[in-house]
Copies of this chain bind each other. A is one copy, B any other.
Amino acid sequence: MSEFVRNQWYVAAYGREIGRQLFSRTVCGESILFWRTEAGEVAAMSDRCVHRRFPLSQEPSHLVGDTVVCGYHGFTYDRGGACVAVPGQARIPRTARLTSYPVTELDGFVWVFIGDPAHAATTRVPRAPWLDMPGWTAVSGMEPLAARYSLLVDNLLDLSHETYLHGGYIGTPEVAETPIVTRVDEDAGIVYVSRRMADAACPPFYAKSTGITGRITRWQDIEFTPPCLYLLHSRIAPVGVLPNADGTDPGAFHVEVVYALTPETERSTHDFWAVARDFALEDQGVSDFLAENNRTVVLQDVAALNVLEQVIATEPDGYQELSINIDTGGLAARRMIAKLR
Interface of A with B (CB < 8 Å)? 1, 29, 31, 48, 50-55, 58, 60, 69-74, 86-89, 93, 95-96, 154, 158, 160-161, 163-165, 167, 176-180, 265, 304, 307-308, 311-312, 314-316, 319, 321-326
Contact = CB atoms under 8 A, between A and B. Distances in A.
Contact of A321 (B52, B72, B163): B52
A163 B324 contact: no
Contact of A73 (B48, B53, B69, B160): B160
Contact of A53 (B1, B164, B319): B319
A60 B325 CA distance: 23
B89 A161 contact: no
B158 A304 contact: no
Given A304-B54, A311-B53, A88 B177 contact: yes
A176 B164 CA distance: 59
B308 A52 contact: yes
Contacts of A88: 160, 176-180, 324-326
Given A70-B164, A74-B164, A158-B73, A53 B312 contact: yes
A167 B74 CA distance: 11
16 contacts: A51-B322, A51-B323, A51-B324, A52-B154, A52-B308, A53-B312, A54-B304, A71-B164, A72-B304, A73-B164, A86-B324, A87-B160, A87-B324, A88-B176, A88-B326, A89-B324
A86 B1 CA distance: 36
Contacts of A93: 322, 324
Nearest to A95: B322
Contact of A316 (B1, B71, B316): B1
A58 B308 CA distance: 11
Contact of A176 (B55, B87, B165, B315): B87
B308 A54 contact: yes
B163 A74 contact: yes
A93 B18 CA distance: 50
B177 A321 contact: no
B53 A321 contact: yes
Contacts of A60: 164-165, 167
Nearest to A158: B73
